C-alpha cells in the first residue's frame, strides 16, 4: 500500500458529554486502501453509528482525525457518499425516483444534460430505469434501497460509506443487493466501507473485516479474507476459507463481549 | 362498472341535500313569516343581487380583501416559520409569543386593527392577515421541525445547497402540515372577512347582509347568507384540489384527519 | 449544556418580551398621525390595573365564559351522539356528507343578522349561534373517529360477547377519542371566537361588547383586548391539559389545527 489511503482514521475517539462523560470510541486506527472493500462489524449499540458519522464528516470526533484521500475533514467531503439503513427516511418521499437521484447533483454547476446522463446511468446500473418517474412509496423496500445506492453512485464518490445498508430488507433481496454491491465495486473501482452487525455478510463482502467491540469500543482485530475471484452466494459461503474467517470473526466478537468494560487499551 | 358505482355513490350523497332544498322550497312557499320568506323569493333576490350590480359592489371587494389578506399571511407565515425553523434557538424563544397571538380571538382585535390601519379596505386586509398568519406560521415551524433527522442528515452528507435544501427538502417535507395550517387559515380568513365587514365597512358581502337586515330586506339578507355559504363551500372544495396537488406525492389514503 | 441552553431560551424570551413592550411604548408615543390613536403601553397597563378592580370586567368575563362554555357543552351533547348515529351505517354517513360539509363551511358569522332578528342581542342568541356553527367539527370528527376504529378491535370485543353499550363505552369510545378531541379543540376555539364576535357585532353582553363600548377610550379598549388574548390562551391551555390527561395512552401529535 504505497498509495495514499482512501480512508484513514488516526487515533479516533468520541466521548459524549464532556470530560466526565461517556466514552464511546477510543483510539481507532484504520487505513483503507483505494478499491478496497472493508466491513466494520460489532454488536449493535457499541458506537458503529457514531463511527460512521465521524467518517462521513457529520460529527467531529473528540480526539484524533479522519482523512479522506489524504486530507483531514471537518465537514462532509465531496468525494464520499453515504447510504444508510432506513431507506424509507433517506429518500425524499416528495421527489420522484429520478429527482431523488438528481438532487445531490444540482446546484454544483453540472449542466442539466450531464445530470440527466448520470441519473440515467446510475438507475440503469441498479436496474431501475423504468422506476424513474415513480414516487419512492410505490417501490418495494429493496427497490428503494437500490435507489439510495443509485443516488450515491450518481454522485461519483471515491468512497462509498454504508451504514447497515441491507438490514431492513428481506433475506432474498439482501442477497441480491450484496451481489449488486460486489459487482458495482468491481466495475467502478470505488472504495467501500460498510458497517454491519451481520458476520456472514461482513465476510462475504469484504477484503478485510474490522471487528470493533468493548466499552469504549476499540478495534479488536482485523481479519483478512483470503477469497479471490468472483464471489457468489452458494459456493463462496461453502468455501472452507469463508467458514474459517467467519469463525475467527465470531470468536473475536465473542471475546470482545466477554472482556466487557475491563478494557486495558 | 366503476362508472356505475361512482354514480350510485353520487346519488347516495346528493339525495339528502336535494330533498332538503325541495322541502324548504315547498314548506316555505306559503310562508307569511317575515323572517322566513319563501325560497322562491330568496332565489329571485339571489339572482337579482349576485348576477347583478351587487356582484361588483360587494362580492369583488370582499374577495379581493380575502385574497390579499391570505396571500400576505401565506408569505409571512411560511417565510417566518422557515426562518424560525432554521434557527432553532430563535424558534424556541418565539414559540410562546406565537402561541399567544394565535390564541387571541381574532375578532377581538378588530377595533385595534381598524385604529391602526384605518377603516378602508386596508383595515379589512390587515385583519384577515392578522388572523390567518398564525396557523400557517406555527404549522410551517412545526412541520419543518418534524422532518425526520435522517432526511436532514442525508441532505448534509450530500452537501445539498441551501436554496435546494429549502425548496426541495424542508418546504416539501413540511407541506403536509403547512396545508393543514392553510386550511385553518382559510376558514379563519373567511370568518374575519365577514366579521370585519359587519363591524365597520362600506362594502362587502358581510356589509350587504347587515344592511339588508337593518332595512328589513329579508329576502336580500337570506340571499347574502346563501351566497356566503356557497362561497365558503366553493373555497373549501377549491382548496381541496390545490391541497391534493401540493401533496400529490403522498400515497392516497381514505382515512380522515386526526 | 442543556442547562445553558435553557437559560439562553429564557433570557431570549425575556428580552423579546421587553422589546415588544418597548416597541409598543414607542409606537404609542409616536407623533405620527397614522398611529396617534394607539395608546402607550404604560397607559394601557394603567387602564388594565383600574379595570381589574371593577366589577364591570368581572361581569363581562363571566358572561363571555358562560356563553362559551354553555355553547360548547351543548355542542358536545348534540354532536357526539349525532356523530355516533351517522357513523353507524355507511348509508347514513354518505347521505349526510354533503349537508355536513356545506354547513361546516358556511362562514359562521353570516347567520348573525338572522339570529339577531329572531332572538335579539341576548345570551340565548349567542349560544344558538355557537350550536349552529361549532357542532360540525365535533360531529365530523366523531364520524371520522368511529369509522376509523380498528375493525380487529371490534371483532375481538364482539367475540368476547360484550353488549353494545359496553362496546361503545370501552372500545369505540376510547379508540375514537383522539379524533373527537381534535373536533373539540377546533370547536372550543371557534366557540370563543363566535362569542366575542356576537358580542362585538351584535351587542350581546360580554367582553366583546365592552370592547365595542370602549372604542372612544383606546386605553381601556387595548386593555380589554389584552384580556381577551389571555382568555384565549387560557382556553387553549385548558383544552390541551384535559386532552393530554384523557389521552395519556395515545401518542398525540403536536397540535396542528
Give pLDDT tens digits for B145-191: 988 888 888 898 899 989 999 999 999 999 999 999 999 899 889 98
Q: Is residue C25 part of a domain?
A: no
- pLDDT of residue C153 exceeding 80: no
> Which three cell numbers mark C183?
373536533
CB contact under 8 A, A155 and B158: yes
Q: Are the beta carbons of A145 and A166 closer than 8 angstroms?
A: yes
pLDDT of residue B253: 59
In whole angstroms, give the CA distance from residue A210 to residue A38. Answer: 7
- pLDDT of residue A92 exceeding 60: yes
Burial of C3 (0-12, 13-18, 19+ CB in 10 A): exposed
pLDDT of residue A1: 47
Q: Is residue C224 part of a domain?
A: yes
pLDDT of residue C1: 57
Segment C190-218 mean pLDDT = 89
The predicted-structure confidence for B118-148, as pLDDT tens digits, reads as follows 777 888 899 999 999 999 999 999 999 988 8
The overall longest dimension of chain C from CA atoms, in Å, is: 77
Residue with cell 408569505: B75
Look at the domain A1-79+157-165+191-265 and name its fold: Rossmann fold (3.40.50)
> Which three cell numbers mark B145?
421541525
Segment A22-51 mean pLDDT = 85
- pLDDT of residue B258 exceeding 60: no
Q: Are the beta carbons of A204 and A216 closer than 8 angstroms?
A: no
The per-residue b/e assignment along A34-55, b for 16 or more CB within 10 angstroms, e otherwise, is bbbbbbbbbeeebbbbbbbbbb
- Cβ-based contacts under 8 A for chains A and B: 67
In whole angstroms, give the CA distance from residue B222 to residue B217. Answer: 9
**Residue predicted with more confidence, C251 or A49:** A49
Segment A97-108 mean pLDDT = 90
pLDDT of residue A13: 86
CB B22: neighbour CB atoms within 10 A?
11
Assign residue B147 the CATH number of its domain.
1.10.3720.10
Assign residue C178 the CATH number of its domain.
1.10.3720.10
The overall longest dimension of chain A from CA atoms, in Å, is: 58
Q: Does C244 touch chain B (CB under 8 A)?
A: no
- pLDDT of residue A11 exceeding 90: no
Per-residue confidence band for C251, with pLDDT thresholds at 50, 70 and 90:
low
Q: Write down the mean pLDDT value for chain B.
A: 87
Q: Is residue B93 part of a domain?
A: yes
| Closest residue by Cα to residue A102 from A158, A58, A147, A140 | A147
Per-residue confidence band for A69, with pLDDT thresholds at 50, 70 and 90:
confident
Q: Where are the domains of chain A?
A: 1-79+157-165+191-265, 82-156
A91-95, B49-53, B70-74, C27-31: segment of lowest average pLDDT: C27-31
- pLDDT of residue A175 exceeding 50: yes
CB contact under 8 A, C197 and B107: yes
Residues of C in contact with B190 (CB under 8 A): 107
| Residues paired with residue A9 on neighbouring β-strands, in sequence order | A30, A66
pLDDT of residue B254: 46
Q: Is residue B227 part of a domain?
A: yes
- Distance from the Cα of A247 to chain B's closest Cα (Å) equals 34
pLDDT of residue C255: 41
In whole angstroms, give the CA distance from residue C112 to residue B199. Answer: 12
pLDDT of residue C249: 66
- pLDDT of residue C203 exceeding 70: yes
Q: Is residue C15 part of a domain?
A: no
pLDDT of residue A98: 92
Q: Is residue C130 part of a domain?
A: yes
Q: What's the number of domains chain B is made of?
A: 1
Q: What is the 3-state secondary structure (H, E, C) of B71-113?
A: HHHHHHHHHHHHHHHHCHHHHHHHHHHHHHHHHCCHHHHHHHH
A19-23, A182-186, B173-177: segment of lowest average pLDDT: A19-23
| Closest residue by Cα to residue B96 from C64, C194, C229 | C229
Nearest by CB to B150, which of A86, A95, A108?
A: A86
CB contact under 8 A, A106 and B148: no
Q: Write down the mean pLDDT value for chain A.
A: 84
Residues of A in contact with B156 (CB under 8 A): 58, 76
Q: Tell me phi and psi for residue C44, to 5 degrees.
A: -65, -45
Segment B3-14 mean pLDDT = 82
Chains touching chain A through at least 3 C-beta pairs below 8 angstroms are B
- pLDDT of residue B255 exceeding 50: no
Q: Is residue B255 part of a domain?
A: no
pLDDT of residue C152: 75
Q: Are the beta carbons of B114 and B200 closer than 8 angstroms?
A: yes
CB contact under 8 A, A107 and B164: yes
**Residue predicted with more confidence, B66 or B116:** B66
pLDDT of residue B170: 93
**Residue predicted with more confidence, A227 or A62:** A62
In whole angstroms, give the CA distance from residue A30 to residue C50. Answer: 75
The per-residue b/e assignment along C134-162, b for 16 or more CB within 10 angstroms, e otherwise, is bbbbbbbbbbbbbbbbeeeeeeebeeeeb
Per-residue confidence band for C44, with pLDDT thresholds at 50, 70 and 90:
confident
Q: Is residue C96 part of a domain?
A: yes
In whole angstroms, give the CA distance from residue A14 to residue A50. Answer: 8
In whole angstroms, give the CA distance from residue B223 to residue B217. Answer: 10
Residues of B in contact with A137 (CB under 8 A): 250-251
- pLDDT of residue C109 exceeding 90: no
CB contact under 8 A, B224 and C110: yes
Instruction: Pick from A79-88, B57-66, B73-82 the range whose average pLDDT is largest.
Output: B73-82
The predicted-structure confidence for C1-23, as pLDDT tens digits, reads as follows 567 888 888 999 999 999 988 88
Q: Is residue B253 part of a domain?
A: no
pLDDT of residue C35: 52
- pLDDT of residue A228 exceeding 80: no
Q: What's the number of domains chain C is made of?
A: 1
Kindly provide the ipTM of the predicted complex, given to two decimals. Answer: 0.82
pLDDT of residue B1: 64
- The residue segments making up the domain with residue B113 are 39-246
CB contact under 8 A, B172 and A95: yes
Q: Does B252 touch chain A (CB under 8 A)?
A: no
The predicted-structure confidence for C165-185, as pLDDT tens digits, reads as follows 777 777 777 778 888 888 898
* Coil vs helix vs strand at A47: coil
Amino acid at each position: 500500500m504505497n498509495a495514499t489511503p482512501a480512508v484513514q482514521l488516526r487515533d479516533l475517539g468520541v466521548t459524549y458529554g464532556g470530560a466526565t462523560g461517556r466514552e464511546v470510541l477510543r483510539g481507532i486506527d484504520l487505513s483503507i486502501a483505494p478499491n478496497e472493500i472493508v466491513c466494520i462489524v460489532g454488536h449493535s449499540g457499541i458506537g458503529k453509528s457514531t463511527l460512521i458519522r465521524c467518517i462521513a464528516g457529520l460529527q467531529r470526533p473528540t480526539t484524533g482525525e479522519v482523512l479522506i484521500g489524504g486530507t483531514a475533514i471537518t465537514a462532509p467531503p465531496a468525494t464520499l457518499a453515504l447510504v444508510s439503513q432506513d431507506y424509507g427516511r433517506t429518500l425524499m418521499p416528495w421527489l420522484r425516483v429520478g429527482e431523488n437521484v438528481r438532487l445531490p447533483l444540482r446546484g454544483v454547476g453540472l449542466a442539466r444534460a450531464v445530470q440527466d446522463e448520470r441519473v440515467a446511468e446510475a438507475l440503469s446500473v441498479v436496474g431501475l430505469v423504468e422506476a424513474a418517474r415513480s414516487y419512492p412509496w410505490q417501490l418495494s423496500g429493496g427497490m428503494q434501497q437500490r435507489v439510495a445506492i443509485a443516488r450515491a453512485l450518481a454522485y461519483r464518490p471515491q468512497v462509498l460509506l454504508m451504514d447497515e445498508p441491507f438490514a431492513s430488507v428481506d433475506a432474498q433481496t439482501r442477497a441480491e443487493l450484496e451481489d449488486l454491491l460486489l459487482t458495482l465495486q468491481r466495475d467502478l473501482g470505488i472504495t467501500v466501507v460498510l458497517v454491519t452487525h451481520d458476520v456472514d455478510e461482513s465476510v462475504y463482502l469484504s477484503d478485510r473485516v474490522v471487528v470493533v467491540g468493548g466499552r469504549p469500543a476499540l478495534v479488536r482485530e482485523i481479519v483478512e479474507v483470503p477469497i479471490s475471484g468472483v464471489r457468489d452466494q452458494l459456493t463462496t459461503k461453502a468455501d472452507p476459507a469463508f467458514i474459517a474467517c467467519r469463525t475467527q470473526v465470531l470468536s473475536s466478537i465473542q471475546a470482545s463481549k466477554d472482556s466487557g468494560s475491563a478494557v486495558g487499551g | 362498472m366503476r362508472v356505475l358505482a361512482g354514480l350510485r355513490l353520487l346519488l347516495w350523497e346528493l339525495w339528502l341535500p336535494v330533498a332538503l332544498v325541495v322541502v324548504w322550497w315547498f314548506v316555505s312557499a306559503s310562508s307569511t313569516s317575515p323572517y322566513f320568506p319563501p325560497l322562491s323569493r330568496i332565489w329571485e333576490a339571489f339572482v337579482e343581487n349576485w348576477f347583478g350590480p351587487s356582484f361588483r359592489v360587494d362580492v369583488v371587494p370582499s374577495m379581493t380583501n380575502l385574497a390579499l389578506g391570505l396571500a400576505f399571511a401565506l408569505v409571512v407565515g411560511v417565510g417566518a416559520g422557515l426562518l424560525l425553523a432554521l434557527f432553532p434557538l430563535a424558534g424556541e424563544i418565539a414559540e410562546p409569543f406565537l402561541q399567544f397571538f394565535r390564541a387571541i380571538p381574532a375578532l377581538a382585535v378588530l377595533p385595534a386593527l381598524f385604529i391602526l390601519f384605518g377603516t378602508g379596505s386596508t383595515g379589512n386586509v390587515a385583519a384577515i392577515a392578522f388572523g390567518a398568519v398564525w396557523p400557517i406560521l406555527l404549522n410551517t415551524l412545526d412541520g419543518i421541525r418534524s422532518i425526520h433527522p435522517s432526511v436532514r442528515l442525508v441532505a448534509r452528507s450530500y452537501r445539498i445547497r441551501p436554496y435546494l435544501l429549502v425548496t426541495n427538502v424542508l418546504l416539501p417535507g413540511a407541506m403536509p402540515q403547512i396545508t393543514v395550517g392553510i386550511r385553518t387559515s382559510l376558514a379563519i380568513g373567511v370568518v374575519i372577512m365577514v366579521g370585519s365587514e359587519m363591524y365597520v365597512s362600506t362594502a362587502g358581502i358581510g356589509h350587504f347582509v347587515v344592511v339588508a337586515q337593518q332595512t328589513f330586506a329579508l329576502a336580500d339578507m337570506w340571499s347574502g347568507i346563501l351566497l356566503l355559504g356557497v362561497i365558503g363551500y366553493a373555497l373549501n372544495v377549491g382548496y381541496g384540489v390545490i391541497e391534493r396537488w401540493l401533496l400529490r406525492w403522498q400515497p392516497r389514503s381514505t382515512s380522515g384527519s386526526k | 449544556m442543556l442547562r445553558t441552553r435553557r437559560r439562553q431560551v429564557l433570557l431570549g424570551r425575556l428580552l423579546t418580551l421587553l422589546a415588544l413592550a418597548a416597541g409598543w411604548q414607542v409606537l404609542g408615543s409616536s407623533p405620527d398621525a397614522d398611529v396617534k390613536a394607539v395608546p402607550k403601553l404604560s397607559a394601557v397597563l394603567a387602564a388594565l390595573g383600574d379595570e381589574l378592580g371593577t366589577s364591570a370586567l368581572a361581569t363581562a368575563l363571566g358572561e363571555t365564559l358562560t356563553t362559551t362554555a354553555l355553547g360548547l357543552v351543548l355542542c358536545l351533547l348534540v354532536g357526539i351522539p349525532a356523530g355516533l348515529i351517522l357513523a353507524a351505517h355507511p348509508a347514513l354517513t354518505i347521505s349526510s356528507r354533503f349537508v355536513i360539509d356545506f354547513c361546516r363551511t358556511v362562514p359562521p358569522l353570516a347567520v348573525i343578522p338572522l339570529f339577531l332578528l329572531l332572538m335579539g342581542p341576548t345570551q340565548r342568541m349567542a349560544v344558538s349561534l355557537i350550536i349552529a356553527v361549532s357542532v360540525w367539527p365535533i360531529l365530523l370528527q366523531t364520524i371520522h373517529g368511529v369509522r376509523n376504529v380498528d375493525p380487529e378491535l371490534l371483532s375481538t370485543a364482539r367475540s368476547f360477547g360484550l353488549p353494545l353499550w359496553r362496546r361503545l363505552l370501552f372500545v369505540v369510545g376510547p379508540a375514537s377519542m383522539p379524533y373527537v378531541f381534535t373536533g373539540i379543540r377546533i370547536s372550543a376555539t371557534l366557540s370563543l371566537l363566535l362569542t366575542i364576535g356576537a358580542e362585538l357585532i351584535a351587542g350581546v353582553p360580554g367582553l366583546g361588547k365592552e370592547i365595542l363600548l370602549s372604542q372612544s377610550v383606546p386605553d381601556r379598549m387595548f386593555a380589554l383586548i389584552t384580556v381577551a388574548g389571555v382568555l384565549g390562551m387560557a382556553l387553549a391551555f385548558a383544552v390541551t391539559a384535559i386532552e393530554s390527561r384523557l389521552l395519556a395512552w395515545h401518542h398525540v401529535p403536536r397540535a396542528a389545527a
